[in-house]
Structure 1
Amino acid sequence: MTRIWLITGATSGFGRSLAEAAVAAGDIVVGAARKPERLEEFASAHPRQVFPVRLDVTDADAGRALVDEVVARHGRIDVLVNNAGRTQVGALEETTDQELRALFDLHFFGPAALTRAALPHMRRQGGGAVVQMSSVGGQITGPGFGAYCATKFALEALTQTLSQEVDFGVRFLIVEPGAFRTSLFDPSAAYLSAPMPEYAATVGPTRDYVTGGDGSQAGDPAKAVRAIIQALDAPKTPLRLALGGDAVDSLRQQHALLAADLDEWESVSRDTAFDS
């Protein structure tokens, strides 16, 4: 069956790679972006399969209208991919309220609104899939990535809860890439808060990594996309899919640290009930 995909941030990175893979499989892609003209050449090569649309995912009303439009035009929506996003680096003290709220609008409130809009259609049609492009930063943190990780932690918590609430055949897949050669670290895409000298020793190396690391990441986006589709098509789609050896190693280390804290403090934690 031909699937109908709605992919945000479809002009580059994982979004573009997913769109190309879906088209190669014979599916239809509605590619949403702030600059949909960047998809015109792709759409011209596949006029019956690729439909570029303009969308700022922080506009919840526009997002809801787009989901309804996709269903009205194509009859259904099979896969929603919340991919639009950007890198942001800054210590909390360096990050302004406006920067923090804007990032939550992009990484959390926008995907939440699109997912909420898609669920009634997926319930009506008896199923579907929602792919949340998170990050290894959805479970671990690093200096300067506080705001970024906070948005991804929130998106993962919401999606995990959705997987417990929704019982009408929708699959939820949280994708947690490590370092991949996408445009995330591109100077035009990465956002850096104004630096303070007090954080040069802790956040400074992260800034250097982001501004100088583009193009040197170990991860291959094409292989990542194959893994995502394999997970979507599996008899049992996992809730989380880590991508890259760096992501797997970091997550294992984080889980070991959490387990160690639980073990060390278990007796104190348990000794908090009323005496019987």
Structure 2
Amino acid sequence: MTKTWLITGISSGFGLAMTKQLLAAGNTVIGTVRNTKKIADLQKQYPKTLDSQVLDVTDVAAVHDVIQSAFQRHGKIDVLVNNAGYGLFGAAEELNDDQVAQIIATNLTGPIQVIRTALPFLRAQKSGHIIQISSYGGQVAYPGNSMYHATKFGIEGFVESVAQEVQAFGIGMTIVEPGGARTEFRYGSAHVANLMPEYDGPTHSFLKMLDPANGLAPGDPEKMASRIIESVDQPDTPLHLVLGSQALQATIQRLEERVATYKTETEIARSTDYLD
């Protein structure tokens, strides 16, 4: 059965891959971009089922307007995909104030406002699914990625809480945590700070990752897009959906390390309780 999807950031990466697959299967996609020229050919190919809208998710007023008008035009939206975002690389000290504010507005505040704006409509229709594109970097942190991790850890906490709030209204939520994929996120749109020689070494190891000459990421964006789309119709889709074998291995390893450390803190944790 075809559905109506609203996807932010469809000009590249997972957003574009999902949009192409969904339209080819007969679905309707309301897709947001900052520049419609990037999807002009796709719009010509699917004039009736692709509803492209200009949106910068850092503009809160525009988020409210675009999301609300989309529900009003289409009557019902089955799936909302929060996909817009980018990577910012550099040590915390190397980042400037504008870079910090911009990535928070794009990767954290923007998606929060998209979800908040959509919830009254999804609650009224008593159905719907929200997919938040995160990263395994929402569970595993590396040096040189502090602000990116801050936004991903943050949006995952937000979604975990909201998922519990809206479950009773028939609204499902999924946090997608992809590993490295061959998209513009890594090989085109990544932002790099003004690097300082003091941090040369492990903190700047991301420079090798961003250079295709050092080998391409293992993740296939087309396959990842397919798994995301398929997850909507699966009754047992987990709240956290990790895509990529390396991402899953790294996530499990980090979580096991974290749990093992917490278990060593039993006595000190208990020592701060009232002894009533």
Decide: shared fold, TM above 0.5. yes
TM-superposed deviation, 1:264: 1.7
Matched letter for residue 19 of structure 1 = T
Q: Secondary structure at the match of 2:144?
A: coil
Which SS does the other structure have where 1:184 is aligned? helix
1:126 partner letter: K
Runs of 4+ displaced beyond 3 Å: 211-215
**Which residue number in structure 1 is paired with residue 15 of structure 2?**
15
Letter paired with 1:51: D
The residue number in structure 1 matching 2:88 is: 88
Q: Map residues 45-56 of structure 1 onto 2, 5 A cutoff.
A: 45-56=45-56
Residues 77, 118 of structure 1: 8 Å contact kept: no
- Asked if structure 2 preserves the Cα contact closer than 8 Å seen for 1:57 and 1:63, the reply is yes
CA distance in 2, matches of 1:177, 1:141: 14
Counterpart residue identity of residue 88, structure 2: Q
TM superposition score normalised by structure 1: 0.96
Question: Superposed, which structure 2 residues align to 1:1-276 within 5 Å?
Answer: 1-166=1-166, 167-187=168-188, 189-212=189-212, 216-276=216-276
Distance 2:214 2:61 in 1: 34
The 1:158/1:94 distance shift into structure 2, 3 A limit, reads same
State the AA in 2 paired with 1:34: R
- TM-score normalised to the size of structure 2? 0.96
Give the count of matched residue pairs.
Answer: 275
Find the aligned partners of 1:98 and 1:28 in 2 and give their Cα distance: 36
**Percent of pairs with identical residues:** 37
- The 2-side partners of 1:12 and 1:237 are apart by 25
Pairwise CA distance, 1:65 = 0.6
Q: Unaligned stretches of 5+ in structure 1?
A: none
Any idea what SS the aligned residue of 1:129 has? strand
Q: Can you list the C-alpha shifts for 1:198-247, whole angstroms capped at 9, x where unaligned?
A: 11112221123224469711111111112112221111332110000011
* Root mean square deviation, CA, Å: 1.4
CA drift of 1:56 comes to 0.5
Tell me if the contact between 1:171 and 1:237 (Cα under 8 Å) persists in the aligned partners. Answer: no
Deviation at 1:72, TM superposition (A): 1.8
